Amino acid sequence: MTEDHFDDTPVQAERFSQTRTAQSQALLEDYTEMIDDLIRAHGEARITDIARLMGVTHPTATKAVARLKREGLAVSRPYRGVFLTELGSGMAERVRGRHRLVVDLLVAVGVPPEAAETDAEGIEHYVSDATLTAFAAFLTRQP
């Protein structure tokens, strides 16, 4: 029944705000990582493959790629594959690192690998640098 309900308002609101920002980035991150995966594996990333692996229809993948291009993360020409810009490659690399680190941390604390992989797909977009650093340190001293 505390009456001082004004003190922590900005703090809490800021947390939710940051979460919303992360959420709006999540899709971009997954697509860049996916495109990077496909390029590594097959030399190109086709809309059909992107859509299939993301579990969406191809117009949805096309729209997502359009947003990637608009934000300077990818390039493509009609009826040709999708490729990443320097910016996109950088993002893909960082996202892949985060993904692995999150999975490793989860497994290290005892999460079953399959659950770790699934949960990491969501969690990876909400871990700050401070948290990543802590994860890495933890894994170093508990290999």
User: 98 contacts which partner out of its own copies, DNA, Mn ion, none, CB within 5 to 8 A by kind?
Assistant: none
Q: Which of residues 26-45 bind its own copies (CB under 8 A)?
A: 26, 30, 41-42
Q: Which residues contact 106 (CB under 8 A, 6 or more apart)?
A: 115, 116, 119, 120, 123
φ, ψ dihedrals at 22, nearest 5°? -60, -40
Minimum Å gap between C-beta 130 and DNA is: 24
Q: Does 96 bind its own copies (CB under 8 A)?
A: no
Site string for Mn ion, 6-45 (x = CB under 5 A): ------------------------x---------------
Q: Which residues contact 44 (CB under 8 A, 6 or more apart)?
A: 38, 81, 82, 83
Return the number of other C-beta atoms located less than 10 Å from residue 7's C-beta. Answer: 9
Q: In whole angstroms, what is the distance from residue 92 CA to residue 134 CA?
A: 21
φ, ψ dihedrals at 85, nearest 5°? -80, 180
Q: Does 130 bind its own copies (CB under 8 A)?
A: yes
Q: Does 116 bind its own copies (CB under 8 A)?
A: yes
> What residues line the site for its own copies (CB under 8 A)?
1-2, 5, 9, 12-19, 22-23, 26, 30, 41-42, 49, 52-55, 105-106, 109-112, 115-119, 121-123, 125-128, 130-131, 134-135, 137-138
